[in-house]
Amino acid sequence: MSLSAVNGALSNLKSCLADIATGMDIVTDVAIDVVESQGKHSEPASFSLETMILDCDIAVTQSQVNFTCPLTQVEMLKPVKNKKCNHYYDESAILDLIKTKRNLKKKCRCPVVGCENTDVKESDLVLDQILRRRIQNQKKKNSKN
């Protein structure tokens, strides 16, 4: 198999991965809509579906989570949670930092002041759809006021 054929196949796979990610975002939004609509009628059903979507330790109240990325100091668009230290960042900002540090052959330290996590890796990051939805809902509330 030629290098160009491998490169073409890899490009197709990357395109498929992007489509799958978009589809997962849509499915998650629909699932969260269902959770929110059921939550108006019965709280236990809402909790169990939220737990199935993400680990129960991610069920954090809005007052406990800052919507501002510690790197960019702006509201996160695509929040990710670090599984090791439980801090949140905007996905593109932390991935850029990890890439920059990797190019310098250095470890990426968690950007949250006082955090002892000295080796943030891409594999440590989990997209947090619930927090993303909370940020979107907060924006809607603020725009109505």
- What class is the 57-145 domain? alpha beta
Question: How large is the average pLDDT for residues 61-65?
Answer: 45
pLDDT of residue 38: 66
How is residue 142 written in tokens?
């603020």
pLDDT above 90 as % of the chain = 41
Task: Give the Å distances, CA to CA, from 65 to 9, 46, 123, 132.
Answer: 41, 20, 22, 11
Question: What are phi and psi for residue 139, nearest 5 degrees?
Answer: -60, -45
* HSE (side-chain half, CA atoms, 13 Å) at 137: 11
Sequence ranges of the domains in the chain: 1-53, 57-145
pLDDT of residue 91: 95
pLDDT digits 0-9 by tens, 73-119: 999 999 999 999 999 999 999 999 999 999 999 999 999 989 999 99
What is the rounded radius of gyration, in angstroms, for the C-alpha atoms of the chain?
18
